[in-house]
Amino acid sequence: MRRDYSQNKRSNSLFRRRERKIRAKSIKAKIKLVIFFIFILTIIAGIFYFIFGSYLRVTKIKVNGNQEVKSPAILSFINDELNQKSLIPKNNYLFIKEDDLSQKIKEHFYFEEVTSKKTFPNELSINLTERSPKFIIVIDNKNYFLDKSGIIIRKVTEENNNKLIHITDISNTEILFNYPLISTEEINHFNAITDYLLKTDYKVQTLEKNKFNDLTAIMENNFKIYFNLNQDIQKQINKLDSILKESKENSEYIDVRFSNKVYYK
């Protein structure tokens, strides 16, 4: 019986080609798998670099707009906030929340306004507006700056003491920084009274308020004007204006607290 060797050769050739194709596919699959793992590792390394590396670590901080509060104190507070230990670095450009940081700075230093702005890759600018003192309020023999909104700014020291009008509060008011010590209505009354008196020849030194909401404006020559904060202040100012136009010189006081009458001596 004669064997067909040519057919065997063809079969072997097909088998070898098929085997080479399978081997080639296997090699390609392994190469793709290696490339995929390299790609994943590259992404992970990149993430770690940008999160934990120094490239996006905020190192340049600028503070603008401060006058009374010194820059080193503000920078120290910001650095303490950004360098707190956490799983994700707080000083990373990507994870600094500008609004949150601004609010913390505002609450800590009692600023009127604070805005934070990041500049890629590692800069942070802090722009702030300090509260301007309008009055000095005296509580328990201690002086505090009070702004136009009735908020205590800070304690008055010898270095920054000035000639602002003093408010003497004898109603046992509790001191809370960065919160309205005086109601908006009341501070508006103070502003209206002082703004009017500043237009006259009288120089106000002190506003003395008692627990009954009576307000005494004391001038340099100890001349006194009595107001009631529970009544319409503008009407009281109008009555006062009429009396002052009559030039009540050498008077000791003028009392405009009562609706129908004005008392003076």
Please calculate the CA angle 44-49-53 and round it to the nearest 5 degrees. 155
Q: In terms of residues, how long is the chain?
A: 265
pLDDT tier, 5 (very low <50, low <70, confident <90, very high otherwise): very low
| SS3 of residue 233 by DSSP | helix
* In the predicted structure, residue 16 carries a pLDDT above the cut 70: no
Distance, in Å, from the CA atom of 9 to the CA atom of 229, rounded to the nearest integer, reads: 116
pTM: 0.67
* In the predicted structure, residue 96 carries a pLDDT above the cut 50: yes
Quickly tell me which residue has 């609004």 as its tokens. Answer: 99
Model confidence pLDDT, tens digit, residues 112-167: 999 999 999 999 999 999 988 888 988 888 888 888 888 888 888 765 656 788 88
Q: How many CB atoms lie within 10 A of CB 24?
A: 10
Comparison of pLDDT for 99 and 11, the residue scoring more: 99
Closest C-alpha to 177, from 123, 139, 230, 213:
139
Fill in the amino acid letter for 72.
P
> Residue 54 corresponds to which tokens in the numbers above?
């120094």
* In the predicted structure, residue 75 carries a pLDDT above the cut 80: yes
* In the predicted structure, residue 195 carries a pLDDT above the cut 50: yes
